[in-house]
Amino acid sequence: MSKVEPKTSGNWQRICKLDELHVNVGACAKVAGFQVALFRVADNEIYAIGNYDPNSGANVLSRGLVGDIDGRLVVASPIYKQHFDLKTGECIEEPVASVKSWQVRVSDGWVEVGHAGEIAARKPRLVVVGNGMAAMRVVEEVLRVAPDLYDITVFGAEAHGNYNRIQLSPVLAGEKQVDEIMLNTPDWYARHGIALHLGDEVVKIDRSRRLVRAASGYETRYDRLLLATGSNPLIIPVPGKDLPGVVSFRDLRDVDAMLAAAKTHKRAVVIGGGLLGLEAANGLLRQGMDVTVVHLQGTLMERQLDPRAGDMLKASLEGHGVNFLMSAQTEAILGDARVTGVRFKDGTEVAADLVVMAVGIRPNIALAQSAGLRCERGVIVDDTLQTFDPRIYAVGECVQHRDATYGLVAPLWEQANVCAAHLAQMGFARYAGSVTSTRLKVTGIDLFSAGDFSGGEGSEDLVLHDHARKIYKRLVLKDQKIVGVVLFGDVSDGPWYFELMQQGVNVTALRQTILFGKAGEEKRKQAS
Amino acid sequence: MISTTCPYCGVGCGVRVSGGGGRPVEVQGDPSHPANGGKLCVKGAALAETLDMEGRLLHPELDGQRVSWDTALAAAAAGLQRIIDEDGPEAVAFYASGQLLTEDYYVANKLMKGYIGSANIDTNSRLCMSSAVAGHKRAFGEDIVPVSYADLEAADLVVLVGANSAWCHPVVFQRIMRAKQARPEMQLVVIDPRHTASCEQADKHLPLNPGSDVWLFNGLFRYLWQDGRVAHDFVTAHTADVDAARAQAASASLETVAQETGLKVDDLTDFYRLFAACDKVVTLFSQGVNQSSAGTDKVNSIINCHLLSGRIGKPGAGPFSITGQPNAMGGREVGGLANQLAAHMALEDPQHRERVQRFWGSPVMAQEPGLAAVALFRAVAAKKVRAIWIMATNPVVSLPDADLVKQALADCELVIVSDCQQHTDTTAHADILFPAATWGEKSGTVTNSERVISRSRAFLPLPGEAKPDWWIICAVAKRLGFSEAFNFDAPWQIFREHARLSAFENKGGSARAFNLEGISELDAAAYEQLAPTRWPVRHANAVELFSDGRFFHADGRARFIATPPRAPVNAVDADYPLVLNTGRVRDQWHTMTRTGKSPKLADHRAEPFVNVHPHDAMRQGLREGELARLASRYGDLVARVVFNGGVREGQVFVPIHWSDQNASDARVGALVNPEVDPISGQPESKHTPVRIMPLTVGWHGFVLTRVPLSTEQLTYWVKVSGKQFWRYEIAGRNLPKDLSCWARDWLGAQAESDWLEYMDQEGGSYRAVLLENDQVQAGLFSARRADELPQRGWLSSLMTLDAINEEQRRGLLAGHSLGEEVDAGPTICSCFGVGRNTICAAIRERGLTEPGQITACLKAGGNCGSCVPELKRLIAQVQAEEQ
């Protein structure tokens, strides 16, 4: 490439002497921060187009061979050989991959390129599939650290704006209104120049053309694609599962359905005594329904609680008015036009006007699978949240990272931060997986759980129990580190224990006081 | 308002008591009393806390059954009579106490010596000042303390020898300190193997080797002689045998004394020079001198120096034996020791015996000294003494070789015990128990260390069927057939007889210094009004004792006594390499039957402990705060290891106070060698070879409880009084397998009880608290190591409450308050547990305007974000407030 002596005058940037450009040999210059490919095809015939080849993602066009196609002067990209019109910048084979053309003139023997205010290179396009918490956290982070990097397009399957999904329980319980849990308003998207497609689910990814198609038929190309398709509720395959009055508890539509049912019906059965099921049960109870929770296991939230805490939780909820059928396996959902009850394996039945299935979630991987991305339980991602296709990233409940899938909010945040850093081309962060903690959002019940407390070889228990105040705390230690926390009744120190657990702090020095809380430990330190 | 006398140490402070009769009793110092001028030590000030009926013996018992007085008295009299009839009067004995009033003491002594006809009456004073008595008699011809507290204040030099007065006689020590403050040139030298509390305020501390006191004072004698400090005129005119003492002291060169005492020559010289330079010197000595197999010689080696330099019989000078009991001196005055007769008359003197018998008109008279304390209980063990009547003392705890005493009493045919407490280590062996009146209920007189006789007055009614000791003794005497001689109705009648005996054939103190002729005709009213009175109380104006150079040997001269130094009887060896020293702590007294009731007093030193030098501890693998077993050839105990008790390498110190009533295994008496001074019979309680080793236990703990608990399963326990509760410090070898079950059972929790529990099985920690209607009933805290347990203070304070609040409840298992720190307020961010107050404070102080800033500062809102709306509201709220 020729050496240029940049001199500017008005909107024209002086590049080099005319005779420094060789005929039919491209040169590259930097103009207003952009790489520009310059071509001298005849003595005084000079063209300038963007040097960046969108097809290969490389600044290479100035090195291409000049020729003509049907009388159009073109340069062939040295990588994939697409041809670009020297006058217009149009890519003849892939019009969507066209580049900008620049004004150019010769003045006093100098070659000058014009860079008026309209100058802007086409930004790479970031397309986001999913308008949930994980997706939008990535977008917010990208906007924060690289506000002008991408043209951003967001597709949301739900008709609503982006809302705080984990606050659905308070909405169901009548403690919060829908608008209180909305996160980003339409105005916010507009302000950031984000093209928002609500209620239009992406149905296809064409990876070779780097193009997505929505249910409406709308297509758009991407340079980077972010998948955040979340998860779907599990529906147990029993007869009657599709009856009216059978709902899951996943989104605002489900909440609306439950709230509507509560207005007209009395008896609700919640299948699933896990976190979501209990929050649903509490919400429906608050809405005035008689609620029975059906649970396959003998202990509520058995993956988050030990039997003692599970029993305390059950007693507490029973105190609120929730009925329980433990160790009950659902055989069928009864009813014709609408659900009327549930039958169990042992033949017993319970009447119901509303059945909420809250037996778990499954990562939503259909789209990724159809695009040929590698999936197992979830979309497989590496430590940078990159999928099998390096242009495609994925975060949230749909991903499977180091064999783990997550259904809680904290890992989403951690994933989002790493993913956004890489999308913003500042990627050095690695996501190493999350240690998760659980809280139950039921007013009047404080519960915190994290880690593994199944016991076993080498594990040690610290237990505190205030029967009358219904306070139970248990820490499980292994090799002098916290590996499990169960708190019931007083969860104020949950975050502290969680932090110690996440950081793998050796708690030997804290052992005598740790279960009495951070306040106690600090008091003890002060005293000593 | 009633004026009476403190029942503790020999300082004999006057106290004023108000209240009683349903109103709370208050105890204050008596400003008009010459001993204390209104001041009191912490023990005296806490007297009101010790007046409850907890544990009081209120009814006579025979073989463990409550019986009438008539039955109990008849059984006692019949038992004594039968044994006297079978084996003669030497087969019975009384063991009395310096806590008896003079009147009690007088009738006990009279009954034994003049009516039963044996001298087998000894007292716990034998353990405390019999060497001083013997030393006084050898030097002065009579048991006379020739100084007063005022002399301490007038002195230029006060030498404390074997006395930790700062703890044991605090009011006197404070008098010295105030005098020193007024006259900073006044010097205080402490001679004690231990660096005690008294040393803290002294000008000089000489930490001599245990038992080397005679060397030190022989050296002083030699120094005074060589330095030309001999009061020749006084020595010539008023003393005898100075040459013998001088010859003995000749061997005590500075170098030899330095070697024997372990002191530096320079330090010795400084002390000797100081003593020589000061005209007014008081040498105040106590158990460190007396409780020794050479105790009497130690006393005389001190007196020798005062005689030689003429520092006696004048203001601000003299040897001063300070006693440990409220009425040791009164006991000495009535002759309540096995080698005394009565009213300072000598048992060995036939004329004296005849005179006392004539005065009493008694049928018989003891002819020779009876058995002194240690020998007495050996005679009980040997079944030579078949009946013993113990009054107001606890020999199973306090005597040397106390396990032998315990066994002796267990095997003894007839054990009669008069006591105010039902359960002591001694009453446990009683066949007959007499409920005795105690301080505040009984009336009489006591004599303090400076010879001041003070009234002890009753201000409380006799509880239950309790009776004064004099009444009990007289009642038994009457049933033994001596109605006429013991026909007393009131203490004043006994006092009058005692005073008359002191004046009997002793006009103007011509024969004996102890003379109460001036108060020998008191009637009931005059006795009631008797103000503190220093004896002698003579009709004519008389000079201060010894100020005229007159002593009470037949020739009127004082005697120098040659005091050849000798080492303690038992030396340390490879098996028992440490020297056990014993003594008191500041806030307890004797075997804690009274002071143990006071929560305030329990705070200072709650547990039996052993002071060990860190080097010895290291050698024996002991750690501070852990438990150690201490053993001598006679017995062993368990105590907590405490460094910094001021002991030197090779020595350990254990307090004397704990008994089987309040500790599993802490009777130091069991270890003390039963060696005695050949003259005084006083045991060598300050020097026993012992060894020490860690007591291996698997766990330590403590319990707070409103009801006494069984201690059967515990390896170690100590019971400490609190306000309406007890605290047990405990330890055991293995924790029970099912801790929860064990704890519930032990503390009395039912299935439905309000029960808080903490368990770290692998970490060895367990805690449980039992509540009832929000009042703490009991709490158990245990840990693998003692230092892993919470402090006791806050938990103990909860025991005094009728109900605890929720914040206190949260701290229960932690064992300390979780409150007081800034209240975080209701939780706003549950994810990170951030409270409203914390957030508002951050908004205010840092001028935060956005939720994101709050998150950056406090993490709040940084997880689920559900509190962000509230954060916004709080920002708006705070901003509105600020405008």
- Alpha carbon distance B863, B375 (integer Å): 82
Q: Is B811 on the interface with A (CB under 8 A)?
A: yes
CB–CB of B347/B369 below 8 Å? yes
- Cβ of A461 within 8 Å of Cβ of B791? The answer is no
Output the CA angle A247-A251-A253, nearest 5 degrees.
Answer: 65
Place of tokens 């129990």: A465
Question: Which residue of B lies nearest to A176 if distances are taken between CA atoms?
Answer: B866
> Does residue B297 have a pLDDT over 70?
yes
pLDDT for res A62: 93
Q: Which of B762, B781, B804 to mutate to test the interface with A (most CBs of A within 10 A)?
A: B762
Question: Which residue of B lies nearest to A480 if distances are taken between CA atoms?
Answer: B763
Q: Is B833 on the interface with A (CB under 8 A)?
A: yes
Q: What is the overall mean pLDDT for chain A?
A: 90
Out of A14-18, B50-54, B674-678, B869-873, pick the least confident.
B869-873
Question: What DSSP letter does each residue of B778-837 carry, written as one string?
Answer: EEEEEESSGGGSPPSHHHHHHHT-SS--HHHHHHTTTTS---SSPP--SEEETTTTEEHH
In this predicted model, what pLDDT tens digit does every residue of B235-269 receive, in sequence order? Answer: 999 999 999 999 999 999 999 999 999 999 999 99
Question: What DSSP letter does each residue of B527-588 carry, written as one string?
Answer: HHHPPPEESP--SS--PPTTTTS--SSTTS-EE---------SS---SSS-EEEEEE--TT-
Distance from CA of B835 to the nearest CA of A (A): 10
pLDDT for res B824: 65
Q: Is A525 on the interface with B (CB under 8 A)?
A: no
Q: Which residues are bridge partners to A227 per DSSP? A: A129, A394
CB–CB of B639/B608 below 8 Å? yes
At B440, which amino acid appears?
G
- Contact list in A for residue B760 (CB cut-off 8 A) is 460-463, 511, 515
- Alpha carbon distance A99, A101 (integer Å): 7
Kindly report the three-state secondary structure assignment for every residue of B669-688: HHCCCCCECCCCCCECCCCE
pLDDT for res A245: 94
Task: Please return the burial class of B74, using the count of CB atoms within 10 Å of its CB with bins 0-12, 13-18 and 19+.
Answer: middle
**Three-state SS at A21:** coil
Give residues with Cβ within 8 angstroms of A90, minimum separation 6: A84, A98
- Above pLDDT 90, what percent of chain B? 79
pLDDT for res B558: 97
- Cβ of B754 within 8 Å of Cβ of A468? The answer is yes
Output the CA angle B754-B755-B761, nearest 5 degrees.
Answer: 170
At A480, which amino acid appears?
Q
Q: Is A45 on the interface with B (CB under 8 A)?
A: no
The tokens for B146 are: 């020739």
In this predicted model, what pLDDT tens digit does every residue of B190-223 receive, in sequence order? Answer: 999 999 989 988 999 999 999 999 999 999 999 9
Q: What is the overall mean pLDDT for chain B?
A: 93
Closest CA to A33 of A148, A145, A115: A115
CB–CB of B578/B613 below 8 Å? no
- Contact list in B for residue A166 (CB cut-off 8 A) is 864, 866
In this predicted model, what pLDDT tens digit does every residue of B126-143 receive, in sequence order? Answer: 999 999 999 999 999 999
Strands A125-129 and A110-114: unpaired
Assign residue A272 a region (left: φ > 0; alpha: ψ between -120 and 50; beta: otherwise): left
- Which residue of B754, B758, B821 is in closest CB contact with A523? B821
In this predicted model, what pLDDT tens digit does every residue of A50-108 receive, in sequence order? Answer: 999 988 888 899 999 999 898 899 999 999 999 999 999 999 988 888 898 888 998 88
- Contact list in B for residue A449 (CB cut-off 8 A) is none
Average pLDDT for B464-490: 97
Average pLDDT for B333-342: 94
> Does residue B829 have a pLDDT over 80?
no
- Which residue of B758, B788, B833 is in closest CB contact with A492? B833
pLDDT for res A71: 87
User: How many other β-carbons are positioned within 10 Å of the β-carbon of residue A179?
Assistant: 9
Handedness of CA B645, B646, B650, B655 (dihedral sign): negative
Output the CA angle B866-B868-B870, nearest 5 degrees.
Answer: 100
Peptide bond just before B89 cis, omega within 30 deg: no
- Contact list in A for residue B755 (CB cut-off 8 A) is 467-468
More confident residue, B541 or B366: B366
Q: Is A180 on the interface with B (CB under 8 A)?
A: yes
- Contact list in A for residue B791 (CB cut-off 8 A) is 527
Handedness of CA A45, A48, A52, A53 (dihedral sign): negative
pLDDT for res A1: 39
Q: Which of B772, B784, B818, B828 to mutate to test the interface with A (most CBs of A within 10 A)?
A: B818
CB–CB of A123/A149 below 8 Å? yes
The tokens for A96 are: 């969507």
In this predicted model, what pLDDT tens digit does every residue of B523-532 receive, in sequence order? Answer: 999 999 999 9
The tokens for B813 are: 């298992």
pLDDT for res B860: 85
- Contact list in B for residue A468 (CB cut-off 8 A) is 754-756, 771
From edge to edge, which strands make up the β-sheet containing B414-419? B65-66, B61-62, B432-435, B414-419, B387-391, B92-96, B121-123
Closest CA to B438 of B583, B326, B602: B326
Q: Which stretch, A121-130, B369-378, B817-826, has highest mean pLDDT?
A: B369-378
- Cβ of B761 within 8 Å of Cβ of A516? The answer is no
pLDDT for res A487: 95
**Is this complex scored with an ipTM above 0.85?**
no
Q: Is B68 on the interface with A (CB under 8 A)?
A: no
- Alpha carbon distance B275, B256 (integer Å): 19
Q: The pTM is what?
A: 0.78
Burial pattern B250-268, b for ≥16 Cβ within 10 A else e, equals eebbbeebbebbbbeeebb
Helical ranges in A39-85 per DSSP H: none
Give residues with Cβ within 8 angstroms of B211, minimum separation 6: B292, B294, B567, B568, B686, B687
Q: Is A499 on the interface with B (CB under 8 A)?
A: no
Positions in chain A whose pLDDT score sits under 50:
1-9, 117-119, 527-528
- Alpha carbon distance A221, B472 (integer Å): 114
- Give B47's DSSP letter: G
Residue B831: pLDDT band (50, 70, 90) is: low
User: How many other β-carbons are positioned within 10 Å of the β-carbon of residue B854?
Assistant: 28
Q: Which helix (H) or strand (E) holds B333?
A: helix B328-334
Question: What DSSP letter does each residue of A166-217 carry, written as one string?
Answer: GGHHHHHTTSS-HHHHEEE-HHHHHHTT-EEEET--EEEEETTTTEEEETTS
- Which residue of B759, B761, B863 is in closest CB contact with A409? B863
Q: Is A522 on the interface with B (CB under 8 A)?
A: yes
**B residues 730-769 closer than 8 Å to A (CB):** 754-763, 765
Q: Which residues are bridge partners to B611 per DSSP? A: B642, B653
**Three-state SS at B856:** helix
Query: For residue B123, how many C-alpha atoms fall within 13 Å in the half-sphere facing its CB?
Result: 32
- Torsion from C-alpha of B654, B655, B659, B665, nearest 10 degrees: -20
The tokens for B466 are: 């309790």
Question: What DSSP letter does each residue of A97-142 carry, written as one string?
Answer: G---EE-EEEETTEEEEE--TT--PPPPEEEEE--SHHHHHHHHHH
- Which residue of B754, B758, B864 is in closest CB contact with A166? B864
Distance from CA of A498 to the nearest CA of B (A): 10
Residue A501, Cα to own-chain centre: how many angstroms?
A: 25
